[in-house]
Amino acid sequence: MIRKKIRLIKEADQTEIEALIDIGINRLVIPREIAKKIGVKPMYRIKTEHGDGSIREVDVGPVFIEIMGRGAPDWATIVEKGEVCVGAETLETLGLAVDPVTGELYPTRRFV
């Protein structure tokens, strides 16, 4: 797993933070504290399965994410505590992938 600086933007507020890039998860995961800081409001709830096998209901809200100069709207899964994690589907949306040899992010396509 690697870490990268990302920018999360919601309307007039934004934050730049180091995030864990984890292709073992699907989407963007952010702690509630960060969601509140930038104004991400939950739109709905979903059940998610966690690494320990537990199933929990969590909030989901819209946010704009930017990594390596590539930005796109995304849905953030909001958890009570933990760290910011970027999953495989979010990377795919941004046209990014993890090189399995070097562990670095690289662009998979042109992004215009």
Dump pLDDT digits (tens) for 10-40.
877 888 999 999 998 999 999 999 999 999 9
CATH number of 2-83: 2.40.70.10
Percent of the chain surpassing pLDDT 70 = 97
The band of 41, judged by pLDDT with boundaries at 50, 70 and 90, is very high
pLDDT, tens digit (0-9, with 9 covering 90-100), for 47-82: 988 778 889 899 999 999 999 999 999 999 999 988
Q: What is the pTM of this model?
A: 0.86
Q: Delimit the domains of the chain by residue range.
A: 2-83
Q: How far from each other are the two terminal CA atoms of the chain, in whole angstroms?
A: 27
SS3 29: strand
Neighbours of 36 (CB within 10 A): 11
Burial of 51 (0-12, 13-18, 19+ CB in 10 A): exposed
